Amino acid sequence: MALFLLAVIAASVPGVAQDASVSNIDSIFAPLADGKSPGLAVLVRKDGRTVFERGYGVADLRSLRKIDGKTDFRLASFTKQFTAMAIMLLVHDGKLRYDERLTDVFPDFPAYGRAITIRHLLTHTGGLPDYEDLMGSNWTALHQIQDDEVLSLLEHQTAPKFAAGTKWAYSNSGYVVLGLVVAKVSGEPFWEFLHDRIFGPLAMHQTIAFMKGMNVVPHRAYGHSKEASGFVETDQSSTSATLGDGGVYSNLEDLAKWDAALAAHTLLGEKEMQVALTPVKLNDQSEPTAEGKPVLYGFGWFLDPYKGRARMQHSGSTMGFRTVIDRFTGDKLTVVILCNRTDLDPSELALKVADVLWKP
């Protein structure tokens, strides 16, 4: 079994002996990957310390390089929490307001953008059309759509999917636009802003918003899909180049720093951060729903509890990758799972880890 143990730092997990908890967590993941299959990386932090950090399987099927804590995975929609933080930093700087309208930032945007605010985009209540539905066959894995092309598609529409603030619908369009807002307001490319204001200050030196020809993903894992004949590399799609909705690559070592910064309010004070952790309400002050179920969403975070325990979480799903971060804030427990294959469900696996640690 291809397994790389990076660090197991002694920590006290209430009700569970440390050695047993490590063994029980490992037993969840060890059967899932071997030295000739793509796999996953797992991080567990408790009370501000890393208690489990392991890689399983390989980063690609060509080199069979083992996955470890430095292996960079495409985060997909996990990225949205960084985009939201970038917006919040600009608000902190006094350069942007949450009630600022889309047409305030992009004056040439059609009239329907006058009703859409930055807050609407952050909370998926803006009603922007889905850019994936507008693309047609103009873009491919080799000719990928870029952020400015997404904006152009949206500017050619004359109406939203719904009036801003009246419904909730998960919107990659909204977060691509938020990345463009960061670039416009800050005066520097989105990927540079992330480096200068988030990744650099937190010493997340191996985390980047990937721009082909502009930077390089270090220790890169490549995405895979499972077919009848086995795993095949499926690393890129026509939408893999957009940034604000899913373009960040990172690894366990850097995401441990991110988790620590969130806990310590390193980038924003607790009061400023609270707005991101407050579930959105619709214009009529009702709770939004999706597919008949209540939605608890802040700025770049789902806020639904698990077994009555407070939680902030976000998953990511894209060509060849599945990812998740679960932060159980009251329990001071964080689980991060990064997969370079699409046949695993990291959200389900993260909850299994939590259940192991909470077992009497």
Number of domains the chain is built from? 1
DSSP 145-163: --HHHHHHHHHT-SS-SS-
* pLDDT tens string 315-358: 999 999 999 999 999 999 999 999 999 999 999 999 999 999 99
Tell me which amino acid residue 307 is: K
Query: How much is the mean pLDDT over the chain?
Result: 94
Instruction: Write down the pLDDT at residue 129.
Output: 97
The CATH number of whichever domain residue 201 belongs to comes to 3.40.710.10
Per-residue pLDDT tens digits for 111-126: 999 999 999 999 999 9
Q: Measured between alpha carbons, how far is 176 from 187 in angstroms, rounded to an integer?
A: 17
Residue 203 reports pLDDT greater than 80? yes
Q: Spell out the residues 6+ positions from residue 181 whose beta carbon is closer than 8 angstroms to its own.
A: 87, 96, 105, 118, 121
d(CA 42, CA 44): 7
Distance CA 172, CA 176 (A): 6
Rounded to whole angstroms, the Cα distance separating 277 from 121 reads 15
pLDDT digits (tens, 9 = 90+) for 257-316: 999 999 999 999 999 999 999 999 999 999 999 999 999 999 999 999 999 999 999 999
Which position has the token pair 């894992």? 221
Which residues contact residue 249 at a Cβ distance below 8 angstroms, ignoring those fewer than 6 apart? 72, 73, 74, 75, 207, 208, 209, 210, 217, 220
**pLDDT single digits (tens) 21-63:** 899 999 999 999 999 999 999 999 999 999 999 999 999 999 9
pTM: 0.94
Structural domain harbouring 127:
3-358
Q: What is the C-alpha separation between 261 and 68, in angstroms, rounded? A: 22
308: left (phi over 0), alpha (psi -120 to 50) or beta: left
Q: Say how many C-beta atoms besides its own lie within 10 A of residue 236's C-beta.
A: 19
The rounded radius of gyration (Å) of the Cα atoms in the chain is 20
